[in-house]
């Protein structure tokens, strides 16, 4: 019986990352033991503002060679605005990972969990359960453009959207492949081909083309304006939603917000070709206002661990961790105070661990 061993680069970063990452590792270690998966954690102190204070930069010059051989990166949060401006800490760390490791897919689950108050009326756990897949490298977020006649009446600014066949096709293929692994086998494409008359019709065209390779997936598309309305009005209908960089940015915040889970939501920055490691991080930041108090909710971090296990090819371990999270969230004694619970960070992490061991 062959046992896979994966090398995981662990970067806790700043603030509550220091408190949530140990809980994530605790649960990951237990899942590894229960499902016979080898996880080799290698912790790094860079990509943090403490590192910056000591070295004058966010990461060492050889950061890339130190983590490029990892199978995945398990990341906490970065940012400590009192000492390092956010654009310095972000551009000096996370954005470098995303670019240099070509993490072209941003993946976020949207799932209504028990114990989490849903801002949408009349929805219960099970009603909302889908994925948002965002293109993470091109599209509307290009640096192509410029400014002329600055400071005059003719002042003119322009910024171009860049869609390459490679860039569009690879994100679509990734999203279709996720849809194929789901039961519902449906995929929704976000577009705006009525208003954006060149790039978005191209996007639609590539969706149709890609759909030919996935005959068992039912595809639909919505313009982004009505799509945002449907996220709120009829979230039940979605399974996998794929979107360009800008639309995906919006949808990947709106989706989790509709389930009340921004604070516990995980995300993956994925390099689907597996040429480089993918990075898993909670959606929340370093939360300086509560850092060091031991009260941060560790669920976003733990859920990241589940996504990472899934990415590594262990969906059964991933589902077990998500099930353990669900059981803990449904119990006020085991969830943290941000969700009206009584547990502290460690207590909540221990509870997930216990639920996991019981479940398996
Ligand atoms: P934040 O997510 O750190 O905090 C927003 C609010 O949510 C705060 O009141 C915080 O206490 C609360 N919160 C966040 N996570 C929580 C948790 N796990 N449990 C309980 N409460 C939680 O966002 P903010 O305040 O805008 O940013 C703080 C720092 O984090 C900044 O330096 C920012 O740049 C950075 N940041 C980093 C991200 C990353 O590493 N990907 C993402 C977002 C922000
Ligand atoms: Mg955003």
Q: What are the angstrom distances between the C-alpha of 173 and each of 48, 124, 164, 191, 217? A: 34, 31, 14, 16, 12
Active site residue 86: no
Question: What is the tally of structural domains in the chain?
Answer: 2
ipTM of model: 0.97
- Residue ending a domain, among 206, 229, 258, is 258
Q: Which ligand is nearest to the CA of 76?
A: 1
Q: Which atom of ligand 1 is nearest to the CA of 13?
A: 40
Q: Which residues line ligand 1 (CB under 6 A)?
A: 16, 77-79, 81, 86, 94, 263, 281, 284-290, 296-297, 300, 338
254 Cα: distance to centroid of ligand 2 (angstroms): 9
Quick one: 165 and 204 in the same domain? yes
- Residue ending a domain, among 236, 258, 280, is 258
Three-state secondary structure call for residue 270: strand
Q: Which atom of ligand 1 is nearest to the CA of 290?
A: 11
Contact 242, 188 (CB under 8 A): yes
DSSP, res 264: G
Quick one: 195 and 221 in the same domain? yes
Three-state secondary structure call for residue 14: coil
Ligand 1, from 46, 79, 84: best to mutate by most atoms within 8 Å of Cβ? 79
Contact 130, 235 (CB under 8 A): yes
Q: Give the CATH number of the domain where residue 53 resides.
A: 3.40.718.10
Q: Which of 50, 169, 204, 253 is catalytic?
A: 253
Domain extent for 231: 129-258
Three-state secondary structure call for residue 16: coil
- Which residue's C-alpha comes closest to atom 13 of ligand 1? 287
Quick one: 250 and 267 in the same domain? no
Closest CA to 250 of 166, 162, 143, 135: 135
Q: Which of 141, 204, 221, 338 is catalytic?
A: 141
Q: Which atom of ligand 1 is nearest to the CA of 20?
A: 18
pLDDT in tens, the chain (360 residues): 456 799 999 999 999 999 999 999 999 999 999 999 999 999 999 999 999 999 999 999 999 999 999 999 999 999 999 999 999 999 999 989 998 999 999 999 999 999 898 999 999 999 999 999 999 999 999 889 999 999 999 999 999 999 999 999 999 999 999 999 999 999 999 999 999 999 999 999 999 999 999 999 999 999 999 999 999 999 999 999 999 999 999 999 999 999 987 779 999 999 999 999 999 999 999 999 999 999 999 999 999 999 999 999 999 999 999 999 999 999 999 999 999 999 999 999 999 999 999 987
Quick one: 88 and 143 in the same domain? no
pTM of the model: 0.94
Q: How far apart are CA 18 and CA 10, in angstroms?
A: 11
**31 phi and psi, to 5 degrees?**
-60, -40
Active site residue 225: yes
User: Is 117 inside any structural domain?
Assistant: no
H or E element in which residue 352 lies:
helix 345-359
Ligand 1, from 59, 284, 341: best to mutate by most atoms within 8 Å of Cβ? 284
Quick one: 304 and 210 in the same domain? no
- Which residue's C-alpha comes closest to atom 36 of ligand 1? 285
Q: How far apart are CA 30 and CA 36, in angstroms?
A: 10
- Residue ending a domain, among 258, 293, 309, is 258
Closest CA to 246 of 195, 207, 192, 210: 192
CA 88-14-119 angle, to 5 degrees, is 100
Quick one: 163 and 270 in the same domain? no
């Amino acid at each position: 019986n062959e046992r896979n061993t994966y090398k995981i680069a662990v970067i806790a970063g700043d603030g509550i990352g220091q408190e949530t990452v140990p809980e994530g590792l605790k649960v990951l270690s237990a899942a590894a033991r229960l499902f016979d998966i080898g996880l080799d954690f290698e912790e790094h102190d860079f990509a943090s503002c403490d590192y910056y204070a000591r070295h004058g930069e966010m990461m060492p010059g050889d950061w890339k060679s130190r983590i490029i051989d990892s199978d995945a990166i398990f990341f906490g949060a970065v940012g400590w605005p009192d000492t390092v401006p956010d654009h310095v800490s972000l551009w000096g760390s996370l954005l470098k990972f995303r670019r240099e490791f070509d993490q072209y897919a941003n993946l976020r689950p949207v799932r209504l969990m028990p114990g989490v108050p849903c801002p949408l009326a009349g929805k219960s756990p099970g009603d909302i359960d889908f994925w948002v897949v965002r293109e993470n490298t091109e599209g509307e977020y290009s640096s192509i453009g410029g400014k002329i006649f600055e400071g005059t009446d003719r002042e003119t600014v322009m910024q171009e959207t860049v869609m390459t066949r490679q860039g569009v096709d690879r994100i679509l293929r990734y999203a279709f492949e996720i849809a194929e692994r789901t039961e519902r086998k449906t995929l929704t494409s976000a577009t705006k081909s009525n208003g954006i008359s060149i790039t978005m019709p191209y996007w639609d065209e590539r969706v149709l083309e890609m759909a030919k390779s996935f005959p068992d997936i039912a595809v639909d598309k919505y313009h982004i304006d009505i799509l945002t309305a449907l996220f709120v009005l009829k979230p039940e209908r979605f399974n996998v939603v794929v979107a360009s960089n800008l639309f995906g940015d919006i949808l990947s915040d709106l989706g989790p917000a509709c389930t009340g889970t921004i604070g516990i939501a995980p995300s993956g920055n994925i390099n689907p070709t597996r040429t480089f490691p993918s990075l898993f991080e909670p959606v929340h930041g370093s939360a300086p206002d509560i850092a060091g108090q031991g009260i941060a909710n560790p669920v976003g971090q733990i859920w990241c661990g589940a996504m990472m296990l899934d990415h590594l090819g262990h969906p059964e371990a991933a589902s077990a961790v998500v099930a353990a999270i669900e059981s803990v969230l449904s119990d006020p004694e085991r969830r943290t105070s941000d969700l009206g619970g009584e547990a502290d960070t460690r207590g909540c992490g221990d509870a997930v661990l216990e639920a996991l061991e019981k479940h398996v």
